[in-house]
Chains A and B, each alone.
Chain A
Amino acid sequence: MRAAPIGRVVATELKPATPHQFHFWTATETSIGIGAIVRVEEGGGGKGEGERVVYGVVTDGFAYSDLATPLHDVIGAEGDPARAAAAPTVRQEIRLWTAAVLRQIPEEPLQPVPLGGVHMASDADVAQALRMDTYVHGAKPTAIPVGLYTSGGLESPVYLDADFLVGPEAAHLNISGVSGLATKTSAVEFLLGSIFQHFPAHRGKVAAVCFNVKGPDLLFLDQPGQLQDEDRRRYARLGVEPVPFAQVHFYAPFKADGVNLNTLRTHPDLADAVEPLVWGLTEVLDFAEVLLNRDDIDAKADAFIDFLSDRVVRRDFDDGFGGQHRVETFADLERLFRGIFDGLELASRGDIWRTHHIATIRKVRNRLGNVSTRCKGLVTDDGPASDLPWGQFADRTVHVIDVANVDPLGQDLVFARVVSKLREHLERRDLGVDAVVVFVDELNKYAPADGPETYVKKMLLDISERGRYLGLVLFGAEQFRSQVHRRVVGNAGTQVFGRMDADELATPGYQVLSPATKIKLATLPIGELMVRHPHFTQPIFVRFPRPPVLRGRDGVERFPPAPDLPFEEAVVRQLLRVAPAIRPNQIKDLIAGREEQDVRRAVGAVRRERPGDILALFRKRLGGRVAPEAARERTAVPPLNPIAEEPY
């Protein structure tokens, strides 16, 4: 039995029904609201052209009575609002709705919406209206649950098409909304979980790299969060298991001391899961452009850096003054520079070395030398690198890089290098997975709409425009979409909006939305989002459950960060992570009285090489202990002519 209509399409000369928009009225008490999906049926009165079905989404609503002018109400109530409210008859009023067409069946010929009955959409209607039927069902479905369409008591799962979210047809997701209320991070956490559970096997392997840029936001993705029954019910409806991420790797640089990790995830119960992120000269030199601004790097300096990169680093190199060098660390580089300056001075060969002016060399030395100072903990002077497992990315694995407490320069460096490496490996198809989702919060900082053309911005533009062919997918989040570069947001196939600021909604980017939709966006509750996706011809509102992972704030409360350890203890902890069997006292004995710099270098070597006998390698890298030379006792020399009677 067909359900009774809840409304009827009306069309007047001033408000006609068109192929893209129509108006309908409902009873005053109705469950219809902005964002509701409705179905219009032409009914049996079709004049031979067949029954047309139109799906639409409500974009605006109007209510008015038969009152011709407000003055009539004032007169009728004799100026007393209470009397107006107590009138024996309630004025006739109307609920008139405007809906944008989502889909017409048949799609050709495209005609104005028929003046038929309006019905609430069912699950099947929602799937039809949003054209999800093409990718939810079939031999090779590519549907990724994104949330529930809820209206009029209906809860219908809404799916995104993986081919249009992760590529190759379209890719990238942009999410914007005000801080705290827009649930941007939660939405991305939920969606990543959904992708990991529903990304079709025939599309290959997928992993995620998330940059944690503020507080503890993404530091507890492996810990279960608190869910309510309502959330579990929604998860069941969406067909997503409410479990935290099974495989998460956390990375954080060291603090300036070089042994304590610069992250809030330092609780003893969790700290073992955080890998140090330490880079040396070879990792950094390729990204000198990130670290040195345009004023620093002119063509001459650029050429010299290229020379170092191509001809010097990781090669046996003769400085031309008899010095042999193999530059692998900043310390090696410093020795090379010293050799050049000394050689030029002693040989009196003027100011030119290998066609590079000494002033250029001094300038590059100065700037590069500063890098290890400004990014201390991330960039090491002479220690070996500790990096992401390039080439060994596992399927459905999240890599979280915590740069929340890193200097902005360091953040840029981390971002540029990680994304560049991802791109390199994806181009060579040797990353270990076929697609990587890169989540970057505060996108307006990295790819601002205005401001200078930075390396990071150029890279983000490149990902946005060409990443989908590689499987490099950008999930960007920001507070104000209008402040992000147009090409970055414009290339995002899927756009998600949380609660928006009214000023932001007044910007030109939101002109396509109706005033009512804007109001809804400005008052959107936590957990509800507006989604635009290539298959959806109009934005759709969906609700999603709380992510099944521990929220950053809750995580910090449950696992408070441990205070920084003393140097010795921190070294012991680092080595215990590599070899839990060794005894702490053995390590403490070995490092007693050693220079911290030597100890850091030895720990780095152990971490990188991971030998069978940890202690042996650690001892070897520390080098032989040089016994301090005791000061010789000086014998007193008696005065040649003592003056015994000296009165003073």
Chain B
Amino acid sequence: MSGRRDWLAGLYAAGVTPASFVPDASVGRASERDEAPGAEIELVEDAELAVHPVAPGPPPAGVAFLDGIQQWKVIGYDGVLPIAVAYVAAAVRRRGPDRRPHTVDWEERELVIAPPAALRPDRRAAIEALGLEVVPPAEGTAAQPGQLLEALRREVHRARLSLEKALGERALDRLGGGEWLVVDGQLSVSALLARHPRALGVIKSHGAQFLEGRHLERALTIPASHRTSVFRVRGGHGRTAVDSWYLRLWPWEGNDLHYGLLRIEARPSVDAAAVSGWLAGERTPLAAPDARFDRLLYPIHDVENYLRSRAPRDLLASPASRLPRTGT
């Protein structure tokens, strides 16, 4: 990362105040609030949302898993305007008959996110000289550094989603006959993904609730190795309708409602029973020690580990305290 040190030096020489602030979310990707404004649902499997036991089934011979990571860090201030450097990456790892994931696609982006006012021509030149992408935050030019930080974070998030989407769509082209693609997150962000007959979205966070009342209660209290009826989601984040259902991997009793609970997205008319059968089997091996091991499928965890192993280390918070040592 000597290149980064070089342009940072240039940036600081141009008047930017050095800073080193790693937001918490950069250490591990935090769940986005997956609100689904304006989403409509329609039960397509049963007249009433029902709970179905999941019969274990063998996984397809070939399954590819897609996930992405994001890391970012404030590296300086122009006055009170933060300038951040971000790293996003995504990978597709395919699991074949040997049951071992192998990388089939991988891409990374390194970008500098800064309000336009912070990037005077000489500063921008210093950054662009190294081939880094300069991105202004989409949320405009808030004068409050706190608001700007949130804008920067959203920009990093968007960059990652964009990369994941690109890799996902590329992966569909390479998918062999009978092979599936499992995406960590919503499928409906991409029309291509949402329409593919062998693409699945696996959502671990439940910020967006499509059900309410007794249906919601039934969905959130399904026992382990059970699923709900399939319902169709229209609108919301995605413009393409997808079928969705809840699947419980581990007993939630004694934990919380969301423990081991996944929401699956797939193209309409996918065989939810069969898909749930092999997805439930993916709870082994356990994705521990990740804190989300109850919902994190091991192959997705594996993609994350792969990406982290290739990510630059200087965007992570130092494990050591920044306080000076006081001696013995």
Binding site for B on A (CB under 8 A): 66-69, 72-73, 75-77, 83-84, 87-92
Contact = CB atoms under 8 A, between A and B. Distances in A.
Contacts of A92: 302, 305
Nearest to A71: B288
B286 A76 contact: yes
Contacts of B59: 88
A91 B288 CA distance: 11
Contact of B282 (A75, A88, A91): A88
Contacts of A77: 284-285
Interface stretch (B20-28, B78-86, B94-102, B134-142): B94-102
B298 interface: yes
Given A72-B286, A88-B281, A66 B305 contact: yes
Contact of B99 (A67, A69, A72, A90): A90
Which applies to chain B's interface (DSSP): helix, strand, loop or mixed? loop
B302 A89 contact: yes
A75 B284 CA distance: 9
22 contacts: A68-B288, A68-B289, A69-B288, A72-B285, A72-B286, A72-B289, A75-B288, A83-B284, A84-B284, A84-B285, A87-B281, A88-B95, A88-B281, A88-B282, A88-B284, A89-B100, A89-B101, A89-B282, A89-B299, A90-B98, A91-B285, A92-B305
B175 to A, nearest CB: 18
B106 interface: no
A67 to B, nearest CB: 8
Contacts of A84: 284-285
B159 to A, nearest CB: 27
B282 A72 contact: no
B182 to A, nearest CB: 11
Contacts of B278: 88
B283 interface: yes
Nearest to A83: B284
A76 B297 CA distance: 11
Interface string B288-303: 1100010000110010
Contacts of B302: 89, 92
B318 to A, nearest CB: 14
A83 B285 CA distance: 9
A92 B285 CA distance: 11
A438 to B, nearest CB: 58
B170 to A, nearest CB: 22
Which applies to chain A's interface (DSSP): helix, strand, loop or mixed? loop
Q: Which size bracket describes the interface of B in this complex?
A: 20 to 34
A92 B283 CA distance: 15
A345 B4 CA distance: 113
Interface in B53-67: 59
Contacts of B95: 88-89
A455 to B, nearest CB: 63
B281 to A, nearest CB: 6
A88 B94 CA distance: 12
**CB-based closest 6 A-B pairs:** A76-B286, A68-B289, A72-B288, A87-B284, A76-B284, A88-B59
Nearest to A78: B284
Contacts of B286: 72-73, 75-76
Interface string B265-288: 000000000000010011111101
A89 B99 contact: yes
B289 A73 contact: no
A83 B293 CA distance: 18
Contacts of B299: 88-89
B288 A89 contact: no
Contacts of A89: 95, 99-101, 282, 285, 298-299, 302
B6 to A, nearest CB: 17
Residue from A68, A83, A90 with most neighbouring chain B CB atoms (10 Å) = A90
B291 to A, nearest CB: 12
Contacts, number: 55
Contact of A76 (B99, B285, B289, B305): B285
Contacts of B289: 68-69, 72
Interface in B213-257: none
A88 B288 contact: no
Contacts of B281: 87-88
Contacts of A76: 283-286, 288
Interface string B91-112: 0000100111100000000000
Residue from A67, A72, A83, A88 with most neighbouring chain B CB atoms (10 Å) = A88
Residue from B95, B100, B288 with most neighbouring chain A CB atoms (10 Å) = B288
A87 B285 CA distance: 6
A68 B305 CA distance: 14
B260 to A, nearest CB: 12
Nearest to A28: B100
Contacts of B288: 67-69, 72, 75-76
Contacts of B99: 87-90
Contacts of B282: 88-89
A25 to B, nearest CB: 12
A530 to B, nearest CB: 35
Nearest to A65: B285
Contacts of B293: 72
Contacts of A87: 99, 281, 284-285, 298
Given A69-B288, A76-B285, A89-B302, 10 more contacts: A67-B285, A67-B288, A69-B289, A73-B286, A75-B286, A76-B283, A88-B278, A88-B281, A88-B282, A89-B95
Contacts of A66: 305
A75 B278 CA distance: 18
A75 B298 CA distance: 14
A84 B281 CA distance: 11
Contacts of B284: 76-77, 83-84, 87-88
Contacts of A83: 284
A80 to B, nearest CB: 9
A89 B102 CA distance: 11
A75 B260 CA distance: 13
A171 B3 CA distance: 58
A68 B100 CA distance: 19
Contacts of A73: 285-286
B251 to A, nearest CB: 11
A66 B296 CA distance: 15
A115 to B, nearest CB: 15
A222 to B, nearest CB: 57
B306 to A, nearest CB: 9
B178 to A, nearest CB: 15
B102 to A, nearest CB: 11
A89 B97 CA distance: 10
A338 B102 CA distance: 98
Nearest to B286: A76
Nearest to B98: A90
Contacts of A69: 288-289
B145 to A, nearest CB: 36
A367 to B, nearest CB: 75
B224 to A, nearest CB: 10
Nearest to B288: A72
A68 B289 CA distance: 6
Nearest to A76: B286
Contacts of A75: 286, 288
Contact of B100 (A67, A72, A90): A90
A87 B283 CA distance: 9
A68 B59 CA distance: 26
Contacts of A72: 285-286, 288-289, 293
Residue from A66, A68, A77, A84 with most neighbouring chain B CB atoms (10 Å) = A66
B302 to A, nearest CB: 6
A67 B298 CA distance: 11
Nearest to B99: A90
Contacts of A91: 285, 298
A89 B286 CA distance: 10
A67 B285 CA distance: 9
Contacts of A67: 285, 288
A88 B279 CA distance: 10
Nearest to A92: B302
